[in-house]
Amino acid sequence: MLRARVAPIGLALCLTSAFALVAAKAPTQVHAATAQPGDKAAGEGAWVPPGTKGSPIDGTIFHAQVLLDAAGFPTGVIDGKKGMVFEQALRGYQQARGLRVSGDLDGATRQALLQDTRPSTRTFRLSADDVGGPFLYPFPKKPEEQAKAPGLYYRNMLEKLAERFHTTPDTIVALNGPDKMIGVGQELRLPNVLPRSREYGKTIDDKQAGLLNLYQVDAQQPQGDFIVVDKSEGVLKVFQGPVPEGAYSTEKNRGAPPTLGDNPGKLVAQFPVTMGSTHDPLPLGKWKVPTYAFMPPFHYQPNLFWDAKDKGAPDQTLPPGPNGPVGVAWLDLTKEHYGIHGTAEPQTIGRAESHGCIRMSNWDVTRLSRIMKPGFTAIFQA
Q: What is the mean pLDDT of residues 51-66?
A: 93
Give the pLDDT of residue 279. Answer: 56
Going by the DSSP 8-state scheme, the letter that residue 377 receives in this structure is E
What is the reported pLDDT for 10? 42
Per-residue pLDDT, 356 = 54
Is the pLDDT at 248 greater than 80? The verdict is no
Give the residue from 81, 84, 51 showing the smallest Cα distance to 64: 81
Tell me which H or E stretch contains 296. Answer: none
According to the model, what pLDDT value does residue 309 have?
Answer: 57
Which one is predicted more confidently, 26 or 143? 143
CB 175 within 8 A of CB 161: no
pLDDT value of position 264: 67
Rounded to whole angstroms, how far apart are CA atoms 369 and 212?
9
**8 A C-beta contact, residue 193 and residue 166:** yes
C-alpha distances (whole Å) from 312 to each of 165, 238, 284, 305, 354 are 40, 40, 29, 11, 21
Between 348 and 249, the more confident residue is: 348
pLDDT digit string (tens) for 130-140? 999 999 999 99
pLDDT for residue 102 is more than 50? yes
Distance CA 198, CA 290 (A): 25
Nearest 5°: CA angle at 297, between 336 and 322? 110
Can you tell me the mean pLDDT for 55-70?
Answer: 96
State the virtual CA torsion across 300, 303, 304, 306 in degrees, nearest 10: 120
Contact in structure between 14 and 31 (CB atoms under 8 Å): yes
pLDDT at 357: 83
Residues 6 or more apart whose Cβ sits within 8 Å of residue 109: 90, 93, 94, 99
Q: Mean pLDDT of all residues in the chain?
A: 84
> What's the rounded mean pLDDT across residues 296-316?
67
- According to the model, what pLDDT value does residue 28 have? 34
pLDDT at 344 > cutoff 80: yes
Decide if pLDDT at 332 tops 60.
yes
Q: State the pLDDT at residue 7.
A: 44
Q: Cα dihedral angle (32, 33, 36, 41), rounded to 10 degrees?
A: 30
Q: Which residue did the predictor score with more confidence, 87 or 6? A: 87
Pairing of strands 235-240, 266-272: antiparallel
Would the pTM of this model clear 0.95, i.e. be above it?
no
User: How deeply is 310 buried, as exposed, middle or buried, from its count of CB atoms within 10 A (0-12, 13-18, 19+)?
Assistant: middle
Neighbouring-strand partners of residue 21: none
Distance CA 125, CA 133 (A): 17
